Amino acid sequence: MMLECKNLSKQYKRGVKALDNFSGNFTCGIYGILGPNGAGKSTLLNMMAQLISPTSGKILFGGRDISLLGSEYRKQIGYLPQNPPAYAWMSARQFLEYMYQIKEINGKGHSVDEALEWVELTDRANDRVKNYSGGMRQRLGIAQAVLGKPKILLLDEPTAGLDPRQRALIKNLLRMLAEDTIILLCTHIVSDLADIADEILMIRSGKLLGMLPPDEWLKRLDGKVWWVCENEKYLNDYPTAIRSLRAGQSGLRIISALPPEGAVAAAPTLEDIYLQCFMERCDDE
């Protein structure tokens, strides 16, 4: 089934245009939404989760307007908000069982035990959430989102507060679910998407800059990334220049169509793409 966004815009009451004429089609797979703070990522996910309504435009699921599908649509959704509420007095198992009831899962899809296992909380399942670390709460948030095998999984900065091993655990889980789930994941951490995203969307000031598979993004910078020995002048000349060590030698990584004098070619990375897309400073938040 396809999720389609058609010319979505969101204007908050006394605010900026948080999302501006966004269109995109999503099928099973992982879509990584990248953009600086304030770009409109959470606004987009909140509209897909039907927590806020668009000022204009619409969202279709299986060809039908989600505002008409209502709870029939919402039952297909797993959602992890950016700041997940913590039910501190409950144990993780109680919380998941409670969510299981609310979502009216009734034996369909993944069970509470399975979800606990996936996020490695089985051993601590009977502890109260108030005694959990930030990373454990975050993993519990992910567990409630994947409960019951939703068709659409919306994850707002899912890896916040997780260490590299836990990030890998969550990446594995998402890759496994991606086969038959539409997964939208927003983040400003580029490395969260490396190796797992089928497509990457770049959003700046509410506008979609592009939606492409990672290799296609990388091709855009083929032959345009360079490394030169430390040079103060280049720091001013190239807005994306960043200090970078190469075999222990200090230098600069530079994005430029023409090679700076004395430069050697470097392989483009997603970080380079991010820098190129979001060169200006963003002080929105």
- φ, ψ at 22 (rounded to 5°): -85, 130
Nearest to 41 by CA among 140, 154, 143, 144: 154
Binding footprint of Mg ion on the chain (CB under 5 A): 41-42, 82
Six-digit token pair at 30? Answer: 């992982």
Answer with the entry of Mg ion, ligand ADP, none that 55 interacts with (C-beta below 5 to 8 A by kind).
none
13-72 residues in contact with ligand ADP (CB under 6 A) are: 15-16, 18, 35, 37-43
CA nearest neighbour of 5 among 278, 15, 20, 187: 20
Q: What is the bridge-based pairing of β-strands 207-212 and 182-187?
A: unpaired
Residue 89 interaction partner, one of ligand ADP, Mg ion, none, beta carbon < 5-8 Å per kind:
none
Choice between 91 and 159, CB closer to ligand ADP: 159
Taking the complex as a whole, how short is the minimal distance between the CB of residue 52 and Mg ion, in angstroms? 13
- State which H helix or E strand residue 252 sits in: strand 249-255
User: What minimum distance in Å lies between the beta carbon of 45 and ligand ADP?
Assistant: 8
Beta strand 3-11 pairing with 17-26: antiparallel
The contact mask relative to ligand ADP for 256-285 (x = CB under 6 A, - = no) is ----------------------------x-
User: Considering CB distances under 5 to 8 angstroms, the limit depending on partner class, which of ligand ADP, Mg ion, none binds residue 16?
Assistant: ligand ADP
Query: Cα(82)–Cα(85) distance, rounded to whole angstroms?
Result: 9
Question: Is residue 250 at the binding interface for ligand ADP, with CB under 6 A as the rule?
Answer: no
| CB of residue 25 to ligand ADP, shortest distance in Å | 21
Q: Which is nearer to ligand ADP, 41 or 171 (CB)?
A: 41
d(CA 3, CA 25): 6
Rounded CA separation 202/274 (Å): 8
Are the beta carbons of 149 and 111 closer than 8 angstroms? no
- C-beta of 264: minimal distance to Mg ion in Å? 38
> Contact 141/80 with Cβ under 8 angstroms?
yes
Shortest distance, position 135 Cβ to ligand ADP, whole Å: 21
Report the partner that residue 131 touches, choosing among Mg ion, ligand ADP, none (CB closer than 5 to 8 A by kind).
Answer: none
**Footprint on this chain of ligand ADP (rule: CB under 6 A):** 12, 15-16, 18, 35, 37-43, 284
